[in-house]
Structure 1
Amino acid sequence: MLKKLAIAGLCALSAAAFITGCGSSQKTAASSAAAAPQEKKEITVGATAGPHAEVVEAAAKEAEKNGLKVNVKEFSDYITPDQALADGDIDLVVYQHEPFLKNFNKQHNTDLVSIGKAILMRMGIYSNKYRDLKAIPDGAVVSIPNDPTNEGRGLELLEKAGLLKLKEGVGMKATPADVVENPKHLKFKELEAAQLPRSLDDVDLSVITMNYVMSAGLSPKDQGLFWEDENTPLAVMIIAARNKDKDQPAYQKFVKYYQSDSVKKFIAEKYKGTIVPSWK
């Protein structure tokens, strides 16, 4: 009788352990399911008017072919899109480089992150008078942007082109006062960025960001001499999301559609080299 009771007790314990184990597995499975974000079928992507919005529209067409509806919301300034993203009014934004995004996070206490590369918008050295940097004469006049970010960026580009040398460690904060070697005795003309394309007939060289190259109808092929490389942080535009939502499947799929061959073809045909994909 005692033997039967012991066996029954062991069976009960085994059953209890089995039930507990099943319950634990079910809870783990339920927890995993809850942790995985439910895939969205429709998203809204913010972009500034012009090339950014146009490329997002091309990506939206590719997404629609694959069952994801993408609404494109255009903005006319550089602050509102990130704020709308942080507030949850839109799902993604495409218009900025990562240093801009990090600065926005710092200033507004937000947590936005890059989830993929977009287009490449490189600053370049342009001229209407010369086709080779080696032909630049002594005492040449160079127009550069006068805003803090792009002035340092432009001087760094002139340094990479071998035309000058900057004070060690000054980086993007460089001004003409930080030029320590100037073998061609370049003279700098500081102008508002929008005026740089119009200065080409009055100067020997000009350092111009790609957005103003495009708006002025300049030709990188005919007037460009030297550009930032493809890894320059300020040249690489990104697709950004809220950090907490970065793993949303629909967002990851949008990045894939944005970086598709069809969008790459659209960029090549539409912009003819002024902007190019920043992904491989």
Structure 2
Amino acid sequence: MRKWILVLVFAFAFGCTKKEEDKNTLKVAATPIPQAQMLKFVAPSLKDLGFDLKVVVVDDYNIPNRALSEKEVDANFFQHIPFMDEQIKQFGYKIQCYARIHLEPMAIYSKKIKSLKDLPIGGTIAVPNDPTNEYRALALLEKEGIIQLRPGVTLQATKADIVSNPKKINFREIDAAMLPRTLRDVDAAAIPTNYALQAGLNPSKDALAIESDDS
């Protein structure tokens, strides 16, 4: 799971275009839980060092890199490097990783079944619809024996790359922030940890399957 370490990201030009009076102010875009919470926790310590940390809370994965690229914020904290690389490739953002912070696993949750073995024939699983995170969900389901992906699949894999699906599972590609809300309507959902925590889910207690350290 080392490649999914969340990172603090800056624009290439950080520090060069800030006004003199703003040089000790750092505005960081972050998803609410736990990233924004972590930043708010360290804000007083940074204040003691002469830095004013302002946290801009966002729920949509598509916003922070665009805001950083357009210099609306100085940094962001919400993503792993494969996601950042895909966004750079797709949108041409001039941003780069500054620091690796912590691990957040992808996990499978359900309100209807107690084990993935109980998935019904023709059941439905919701997965993230953003690049790399959909791959993470599918790779986890492959590891659990639910599906098989085509050989040589890349981090941009989607449900179209599934070559074996014995239970004829239907896959619903959903915006990651909306995944917890789908749990009442689907048999299971693959949810990134930050959105799981926001919904009151505990990855270590509630997950039917979770990414391992070597994934």
Give the TM bin, normalised by the shorter chain.
0.5 to 0.7
Task: Give the alignment of 1:1-280 within 5 angstroms.
Answer: 42-48=24-30, 50-51=32-33, 52-65=35-48, 67-76=49-58, 78=61, 81-83=64-66, 85-86=68-69, 90-107=73-90, 109-133=92-116, 135-137=117-119, 139=121, 141-145=123-127, 147=129, 149=131, 150-183=133-166, 185-193=167-175, 194-230=177-213
Q: Equivalent residue of 1:144, what SS?
A: strand
Structure 1: 5+ residue runs without aligned partners? 1-39, 233-280
| Contact kept? 1:86, 1:110, Cα under 8 Å | yes
Normalized per residue, the structure richer in strand is: 2
- Within 2, Cα distance between the matches of 1:221 and 1:140? 28
Normalized per residue, the structure richer in helix is: 1
Q: 1:90 Cα shift?
A: 4.8
- Within 2, Cα distance between the matches of 1:223 and 1:42? 42
| Contact kept? 2:28, 2:55, Cα under 8 Å | yes
TM-score (norm 1): 0.55
- Within 1, Cα distance between the matches of 2:94 and 2:209? 35
Q: Percent identity?
A: 31
Q: Which 4+ residue blocks in structure 1 deviate beyond 6 angstroms?
A: none
Structure 1: which amino acid aligns with 2:154?
G
| Contact kept? 2:32, 2:57, Cα under 8 Å | no
Q: Equivalent residue of 1:156, what SS?
A: helix
- Within 1, Cα distance between the matches of 2:31 and 2:115? 34
Structure 2: which amino acid aligns with 1:70?
D
Structure 1: which amino acid aligns with 2:53?
N
Structure 1: which amino acid aligns with 2:51?
K
Q: Which has the larger radius of gyration?
A: 1
Q: 1:124 Cα shift?
A: 0.9
TM-score (norm 2): 0.68
- Within 2, Cα distance between the matches of 1:104 and 1:182? 29
Structure 2: 5+ residue runs without aligned partners? 1-21
**Corresponding pairs, count:** 190
| Contact kept? 2:108, 2:208, Cα under 8 Å | yes
